[in-house]
Amino acid sequence: MRETTTSAAGKICLLLVLFLFDGGACIKWLALGRAWDGLAWTREACTEVRNLGLLERKQAKVCRATLDVMPSFVQAAKDTSTVCQKAFQNRRWNCSSIDRAPDYTSELVTGTREQAFVYAMSAAAAVWRLARGCALGSLAACTCATPPRREPPSPSALISSSSYSKNSMSFALSSKNSFKWGGCGDDVRSASRMAKRFLQGSSPQSAGAVGKFLHAVNMHNNRAGRRAVEQSLTLECKCHGVSGSCSVRTCWRGLGSSGPTVAGARLLRRYASAMEVTPRTGGRLPPLYHLDNLLYTTKSPDYCLPDKMKGSLGTIGRQCNGSSAGYDGCEYLCCGRGHVTKSQEIIERCECKYISCCYVKCKTCRRIITNYECN
Ligand SMILES: *[C@@H]1O[C@H](CO)[C@@H](O)[C@H](O)[C@H]1NC(C)=O
Ligand SMILES: *[C@@H]1O[C@H](CO)[C@@H](O)[C@H](O)[C@H]1NC(C)=O
């Protein structure tokens, strides 16, 4: 009996080691967002960053071979942190741990839902930044997207496009022939290919079937992230013609100006519907999962109380919203432990009036602000 327990514990340990082995290796590069901004990338810099453990072997190879893509990855690392923390700011897990890269806490290396989101988001951010780099002409390997082979869309297909309303009248009257592909479409396909080469990482050689499986899950989530950017492409158009008559309209497929946030919102929905998978023989993923789904292998902790082993910081002391029934509401965020209400009187200058040069007269106002804090 005792022996069985020991061997079970041994197995769990081994499994944990494997998890930790592969878990965060391919997102350590997110640490580049902090100190490596503005770095002039050289082959030596790639090696140095590799020696610091921020790049995985294959990533360092890509770095040395295509130095010009590295600034895009540095920006993407920043974007990943920003978008993730914005998306999760009022939740129990608020993505603050992403800034610990490359020394992640265990929730980002054990195959949780949160790890799935971070893998996907980092891939999405990388594709977005690379595509932007392509369009700006700062990358050697790509420029603008080749226009689609099919005809430009007919006016009715454009109704949802953002620029439609501006010239809707003349637009509705103009003939189909006045549309053409032009401008600079975002070359998401090339960007996605470049991102893949970098993010793919090498499959763990010594980790066995479980390690291979976890690697496959991570790579699946990476791909889901890249696809989320491809799906965020929208038709963007610009009017030409005499005094904005819009007799000619050029259109391209673009990513807009809102950054990787759009893809982030898409991935947040997929985070909510992520699916659990369990290791199978051969380290392959079961075929029934759609490419867009996020996959996880380990159930997340509830993040209510601090638990170092599980990577939970707990929600004690977090600000909550006294009138919300959602994730940010005190009831949910404080996990039923209750909260303290802290009122604070603020005295400030207000209703200031300009009297004459150099003299402004103000009143003193008192304002009460209320904060709610989890027990
Ligand atoms: C995120 O959560 C941690 C742990 O609960 C907390 O210490 C930190 O202040 C939170 N960050 C933000 C921006 O709310
Ligand atoms: C609190 O939640 C309510 C209801 O969801 C919302 O209207 C309000 O803006 C929130 N307040 C803060 C400070 O976030």
277-296 confidence digits (pLDDT tens): 887 655 666 665 678 899 99
Model pTM score: 0.83
Ligand 2 atom nearest residue 321's Cα:
1
pLDDT in tens, 337-370: 999 999 989 999 888 888 888 888 899 999 999 9
Q: What is the CATH number of domain 330-374?
A: 3.30.2460.20
Task: Give the ligand whose atoms come closest to the C-alpha of residue 86.
Answer: 1
pLDDT band at 153 (very low <50, low <70, confident <90, very high): low
pLDDT number for residue 171:
42
In the reported structure, the alpha carbon of residue 316 is separated from the centroid of ligand 1 by a whole-number distance in angstroms of 9
Ligand 1, atom 2, lies closest to the CA of: 94
What's the CA-to-centroid distance between 94 and ligand 1, angstroms?
A: 6
Could you read off the pLDDT of 38-84 as tens digits, one per residue? 778 999 999 999 999 999 889 999 999 999 999 999 999 999 999 99
Judged by average pLDDT, the poorest of 148-162, 257-271, 350-364 is 148-162
Mutate to test the pocket of ligand 2, among 320, 323, 333 (most ligand atoms within 8 A of CB): 323
pLDDT tier, 246 (very low <50, low <70, confident <90, very high otherwise):
confident
Three-class HEC string of the chain? CHHHHHHHHHHHHHHHHHHHHHHCHHHHHHHHHHHCCCCCCCHHHHHHHHHCCCCCHHHHHHHHHCHHHHHHHHHHHHHHHHHHHHHCCCCCCCCHHHHHCCCCCHHHCCCCHHHHHHHHHHHHHHHHHHHHHHHHCCCCCCCCCCCCCCCCCCHHHHCCCCCCHHHHHHHHHCCHHHEEECCCCCCHHHHHHHHHHHHCCCCCCCCHHHHHHHHHHHHHHHHHHHHHHHCCCEEEEEEECHHHCCCEEEEEEECCCCCCHHHHHHHHHHHHCCEECCCCHHHCCCCCCCCCCCEECCCCCCCCCEEHHHCEECCCCCEEECCCCCCCEHHHHCCCCCEEEEEEEEEEEEEEEEEECCEEEEEEEEEEEEEEEEC
Give the pLDDT confidence of 247-258 residue by residue, as tens digits. Answer: 788 888 888 888
Domain with CATH 3.30.2460.20 in the chain: 330-374
pLDDT at residue 237 in the model: 85
Looking at residue 284, its pLDDT comes to: 66
pLDDT for 72 equals 94
Ligand 2 pocket by C-beta < 6 Å: which residues? Answer: 321, 323-324
The residue whose C-alpha atom lies closest to atom 13 belonging to ligand 1 is 89
Check pLDDT > 50 for residue 7: no
Closest CA to ligand 2's atom 5: 324
pLDDT value at residue 19: 47
